[in-house]
Chain A
Amino acid sequence: MNHNRDDQSINDQVDRNLINLVLSGDHRAFESLVRRYQKLVYNVVLQMVQSRDSAADLTQETFLKSYRSLASFKPELRFKPWLIRIATNTALNSLRDEKPHDSLDQIMESDPCFDLTAPENVEKQVELTLATQELSVALAELPVRQRTIFVLRYQYDFSYDDIAQITNESIPAIKSMLFRTRERLRKQLFEKNGTEPKKTVERGIE
């Protein structure tokens, strides 16, 4: 845990130095920030919008917005959650005007070979690891805000404080939402087919 905090503190310092360089006119320092965080931004946004084309556009938009807002970045904030906040807000705004995500039925329809209960999958139970495809489908069924908070916490290990900064929610609200989401996923993934989960298989996003 301390090791993680040290890493975080070093990363924050590197970010601050790069931001100072950008603000002093060296726009190439922004390239380093892009390369450090583009994968995170792209994948968080992809989890939200479930479409690679949209995620690509939104990633570009996020970095341009952040570049233009960098002068107003407050030094007491951390860059990573600040950037992810821009990314999630940008994605939420874009989702407002779009059609709802694919439901489980639509995903199954688009990939007829995908069978959660196929015998070869059930027989290959090896360890307590969930089928990635099944988990992805269950995540995609969550409301976007719930999914985003869950992904930030469990896939990217953001702290409650960071998630509060990103979502502008209180820590008790985040705690409660995470609890409900965990229970929903746990019941959906474990209680449906018993407690033994399936082996990891390929994940699919449009």
Chain B
Amino acid sequence: MTGDITCSVVRSELDFDRLEPQQLLRLEGHIRVCKECTLWRAQMLSLSNSMQNLDEYDVPDLVTRNILHAVEKVSLQENQIPAIWIYSFMAAAAAIYLFSAHDMVDSADGSFSWLASLLILLAGKFLAEKTHSLPVKKLG
């Protein structure tokens, strides 16, 4: 302990990024007269400088391309969602019309209309499912 402040207080406070100038002066005052804290501070500065000098790796181009491609795909799908709802509604309406127009499946026209209605509904289901898949490419 040097003056009115302990070494452990100095060491825990000195890094904090919201110190008032007066607090800082008090801590510096301690360090000037305390050999252990002077050495400690030199070591901490070294550690901190070395952290800032750690190598940073560039992002592989493929990663950037994949991100942009996936975002574009998601964006297109999101734009398509209102259209998909409109198409689905039209498909359902067409199917209901065909079902109701030829409600008997024992005639050729009736069978054809039921088949066409089922195909319209399946196409609507396929389109709806396609809009909800997320395009993530695994690199690893």
**Chain A residues packing against B (C-beta within 8 Å):** 27, 30-31, 34-35, 38-39, 42-43, 46, 51-54, 56-57, 59-61, 63-64, 67-68, 128-130, 132, 135-136, 150-151, 154-155, 157, 159-160, 175, 178-179, 182-183, 185-186, 189-190, 195, 197, 200, 203, 205
Contacts and interface: CB of A to CB of B under 8 A. Distances in A.
B23 to A, nearest CB: 14
Interface of B: 11-12, 15-18, 39-40, 42-60, 62-64, 66-68, 70-72, 74-75, 134, 136-140
B47 A182 contact: yes
B83 to A, nearest CB: 15
A64 B134 contact: yes
Contact of A195 (B39, B53, B71, B75): B39
Given A160-B16, A186-B40, A57 B139 contact: yes
Interface of A is mostly: helix
Given A42-B63, A160-B18, A195-B43, A64 B71 contact: yes
Contact of B59 (A38, A135, A186, A205): A38
B47 A155 contact: no
Nearest to A40: B56
Given A59-B67, A130-B47, A200 B12 contact: no
Nearest to A205: B57
